[in-house]
Structure 1
Amino acid sequence: MKHFTKLAIAAVVAGVTAGAALAQELYTPNLAYRTGPFAATGIPLMNGQADYLAMLNARDGGIGGIPVNAEECETGYSTEKGVECYEKTKGKAIVTQPWSTGITLQVLPKTNIDMIPILAPGYGFSPMMDGATFQWAFNMPAGYWDAADMIVQYLESQGSLDGKKIAFLHLDHPFGKEPIPVLEQLAAAKGFSMVPIPVGLKEMQNQSAQWLQIRRERPDYVVMWGWGAMNAGAITEAVKTKFPMENFVGVWWSGHDADLRIAGADAKGYKSISWSFPNQDAPVMAAIKEHVVDKGLSKSDAEEMSGVFYGRGIVISAILAEGIATAQAHFGTAEINAEQLRWGLENINMTAERISELGLDGMVPPFSTSCADHTGHSGGWMLEWDGEKFVKVSDLLTANVDGYKALAQTNAAEYASANAPWPVNENCSATN
């Protein structure tokens, strides 16, 4: 029962839609951050997410005939406010979307008790890939450890890393520290040295001290785990200090068009790994224009809609919608609950064919999940700023998950032990 074709889903949903008139809504709250120091990145993501679900509501009457209520609870990216939003919305929610690694870590133990799945696409606690331990947490289609591995793979494709030095410029926050275990492991295996350079929340816009250190260290590459104002600050400093932009690579949250436009052509060559890509010719974009934009229902604009983060927001809501549709098909009801959605999220099969059926051509790589694998490990593309926009400069890269699977299992076991009693899915093996 793991995978479903489009026809199978349609057949079951058609059978339950007749009773959908009695249903209220599918409540999928989003712990948004349209304000605060990270608003510049939050706004296009939230707009993309909202527009995709608004399109489904307008075109299809929602999912399975039930409208989706994607109410936003503003956190400003504050962990404290994020927890408050979680508590405020959990009563009728079928999913929670924390939108911060810090918030994710705080609500992670709560979701075991409340039985609400966490959807944290491309962020959160990397060992959440271990679905047997983290039954209610999902970071599909790819996690931070995948990103670290793929970045190193790409750099290695440019020449041996043996004896090279990589400066790791990162936000001094749980998000920024996530890839360190895998980067350290890769450094030992491939012979490069890694120099961690943290950036405090109050230093994001003025990184002169960090870039002075980079000049002193003379690294071969700078890898950035930046977010919000930190990205623009780092790119501005890199240009000012004449660091070779072709040797500057960021995680997917450091690949925001608006940050690069500040430097324009001077930032040409900067790169970012990404599990999403903005394809303006994808059918989903035409559907959003017809059902949302042309009706004045979008908060976005043409420039933002052409960017990486708006497109990523679309993909994120499409993943959520696919989990809902998969659960509806399996349980034979359109009005699913949180526990049923958890099953749907761990039985997603986003094949190339299914991605095309959803109108997302070229916007996300294929991936699938299972009870053991809550990340999917889709892989990603290396994007490069050409002075005006991001373009793909690599074929699809896929992470060597086997290289850190044992590390994930060890960290998951340590987390479960530290938070005992911690429920584990005893019926889920590594092959499920």
Structure 2
Amino acid sequence: MKFTAKTALLAAALAAGTAFAVPAMAEDMVNLPNLSYRTGPFAATGIPLMNGQRDYMMMLNERDGGVNGVKLGYDECETGYNTEKGVECYEKTKAAGGIVTQPWSTGITLQVLPKSNVDKIPILAPGYGFSAMQDGKTFQWAFNPPSSYWDGASMILKNISGGDLDSLKGKKIVLLHLDHPYGKEPIPLLESLAAKHGFTLLPIPVGLKEMQNQSAQWLQIRREKPDFVLMWGWGAMNAGAVTEAAKTKYPMNQFVGIWWSGHDGDLKLVGDAGKGYRSISWSLPNSEAPAMKDIKKYVVDAGKSMANTADGEFDSVFYQRGVLISMILAEGVKAAQAQFNAKVINAEQLRWGLENLKLDEAKLKELGLEGMIPPFSTSCSDHTGHAGAWMLEWDGTKFVKVSELLESDRAAIDPIVAAKAKEYADANQPWPVNEECKM
């Protein structure tokens, strides 16, 4: 990619206030773009996540001069969480020399997934996307560490059942979900576990136009009287759901969300009325962690952050999860640099780096992020890592950890992954599979 095209894109992003200055010459940086959603009905969740991602990258540039002497180029292409715009952004960032794509939508992920084998650009979808992307032999260019939606569903059921899913026999569980690929993602695993353990699964979809007015869905929930409501919500849907639950006095200790349904701002709308609501989370906020202190010193206090610090965004679950997502990407860059003895890596080398992440406790401590994310590693066959997660509970003002580290049931998940991966590959022939991958 020529200098003019790259700098033009960076200049446009900078003008929009979503990029930061990096060296002009391509050989001085690695281009790590992000498909953001700071606008639209999902902006409430998108903004803190993007701010956390951006600030970690900026901190590395300001504190360390980048990674191993190479600056990290970060620019955003706004999708508004719209799949069509997301595909346009994918093409735009690809043309500008981006060596990764971060779709930030299961719908966009599914659209760019077939392109990955052709374009040879890794897809990084931390904690989202198509759960079968765990199968690195089939999805060689797609990564969804540290845990998939099927991991999340498994861990939620393990927690609400006290570790014995057979105790759910005869119970009724509602899945309140966005009527979108993201919201439908846990259904295959939940249906399988319902059949095995004897509970009733009742999916209740929420359309994009119903997110802020879920009276029909909560009327159905009141009629059904479920033992638990699981929520796969996003953006405005989360706020609408917790508000309706509080209004109808649904027991909050029976209401549990996936990690994208654990946004501080949504629960602040109901305050004490939301006490007891839980969300599974593969991240724990810790503003006193050394890396967070460095972000505050080099970025926030220096006036270079876009975060709303007056509203507590810096301390929130989603902002700090954004930090961890950029950490995962930066560590993929480092692994690739070491493996290929190169400073400015390309997309294929980054793919190797993301496939060989080794984030153990010692590494997380070295990075100044100890205890904020469970240790995990990836391999050619496992592009997820299955890090585990904690259950967080709203105490009226903030989310607090209320469980030990939970682990998913791989014996239940892996066969569904294999079946869905094969189904996808068969439907998209010719689809290359890495037969050399044995681990």
TM-score, structure 1 as length reference: 0.94
C-alpha deviations, 1:318-366, integer Å up to 9, x for none? 0000000001001001110000000000000110111111111221000
**Whole-Å Cα distance in 1 between the matches of residues 27 and 66 of structure 2?**
11
* 2: CA distance, partners of 1:88 / 1:311: 28
Alignment of 1:185-224 (within 5 A): 185-224=192-231
Alignment match, 1:365: 374
Are the counterparts in 2 of residues 278 and 311 from structure 1 also a CA contact under 8 Å? yes
Question: Which of the numbers 398, 403, 413 marks the counterpart of 1:404?
Answer: 413
Residues 220-231 of structure 1 correspond to what in structure 2 (within 5 A)?
Answer: 220-231=227-238
Alignment partner, residue 5 of structure 1: none
Match of 1:65 among 28, 50, 69: 69
Alignment correspondent of 1:239 = 246
How far, CA to CA, are the matches of 1:227 and 1:301 in structure 2? Answer: 20
Q: Aligned in 2, Cα 1:239/1:27: closer, same or farther, shift over 3 Å?
A: same
Q: State the one-letter code of the partner of 2:233.
A: G
What's the offset of the Cα at 1:40?
0.3
Does residue 428 (structure 1) correspond to residue 437 (structure 2)? The answer is: yes
**Alpha-carbon spacing, 1:241–1:158, altered in 2? closer, same or farther (3 Å):** farther
Aligned residue for 2:258?
A: 251
Q: Which moved more, 1:368-377 or 1:357-366?
A: 357-366
Q: Is the 8 A contact 2:116 2:122 kept in 1?
A: yes
- After superposition, the Cα gap between the structure-2 partners of 1:158 and 1:112, relative to the gap in structure 1 and judged at 3 Å, is closer
Tell me the amino acid that sits aligned with residue 167 of structure 1: V
Q: Secondary structure at the match of 2:170?
A: coil
Question: SS of the counterpart of 2:404?
Answer: coil
> Which segments of structure 1 move beyond 4 Å, counting only runs of 4 or more?
none
Q: How far is 1:63 from its partner? A: 1.0
Could you say which residue in structure 2 is the equivalent of 1:76? 80
The CA RMSD over aligned residues, in Å, is: 1.2
| Contact 1:368 1:376 (C-alpha < 8 Å) held by counterparts | yes
Aligned partner of 2:262: which letter?
Answer: G
1:37 and 2:44 correspond: no
Q: Residue in 1 aligned with 2:22?
A: none
Match of 2:319 in 1: 310
Write the deviation string for residues 59-110 of structure 1: whole angstroms up to 9, x where unpaired: 1111111111110000000000000000011131111000000000000011
Q: Does 1:271 align with 2:278?
A: yes
How far did 1:22 drift? 8.3
Contact in 2 for aligned 1:279/1:361 (Cα 8 Å): no
AA matched with 1:106: Q
Query: 1:136 & 1:59 partners in 2: Cα distance?
Result: 31
Indicate the larger mover: 181-190 or 134-143: 181-190
> Within 2, Cα distance between the matches of 1:155 and 1:189?
16
CA distance in 2, matches of 1:234, 1:136: 35
Alignment identity in percent?
Answer: 66
Distance 1:339 1:115 in 2: 7
1:24 aligned onto 2:33: no
CA shift for structure 1 position 402: 2.0
Name 1:110's counterpart in structure 2.
115
2:355 is equivalent to residue 346 of structure 1: yes
Paired with 2:414 and 2:45, the residues of 1 have a C-alpha distance of: 31
Q: Are 2:153 and 1:148 equivalent residues in the alignment?
A: yes
Q: CA-to-partner distance for each residue in 1:168-198, whole Å, 9 max, x for gaps?
A: 1000000000000000111112211111100
Which amino acid letter does the alignment assign opposite residue 224 of structure 1? M
Equivalent residue, structure 2, for 1:177:
184
Question: TM-score scaled to structure 2, two decimals?
Answer: 0.92
Give the distance between the partners of 2:215 and 2:297, measured in 1 at CA: 46
**1:33 aligned partner, one-letter code:** Y
SS in 2 for 1:387: coil
Unpaired runs of 5+ in structure 1? 1-20
Q: Which protein, 1 or 2, shows the higher relative CO under an 8 Å CA cutoff with sep ≥ 6?
A: 1
- Cα separation, 2, equivalents of 1:426 and 1:234: 45
1:312 Cα deviation after fit:
0.3
User: How far 1:233 sits from its partner (Å)?
Assistant: 0.3
Instruction: Provide the rounded CA distance (Å) in 2 between the counterparts of 1:99 and 1:346.
Output: 20
Aligned residue identity for 1:31: L
Give the whole-Å Cα distance in 2 for the aligned partners of 1:284 and 1:48.
12
In structure 2, the gaps of 5 or more residues are 1-24
Query: How far did residue 24 of structure 1 move?
Result: 2.6
SS of the counterpart of 2:68? Answer: coil
Distance (whole Å) between structure 1 residues aligned to residue 436 and residue 80 of structure 2: 39
Matched, 1:128 2:133: yes
Contact 2:129 2:182 in 1 (8 A): yes
Cα distance in 1 for partners of 2:245, 2:184 equals 21
Contact preservation (8 Å) 2:151, 2:413: no
Tell me which amino acid in the other structure corresponds to 2:304.
L
Letter in 1 for 2:203: P
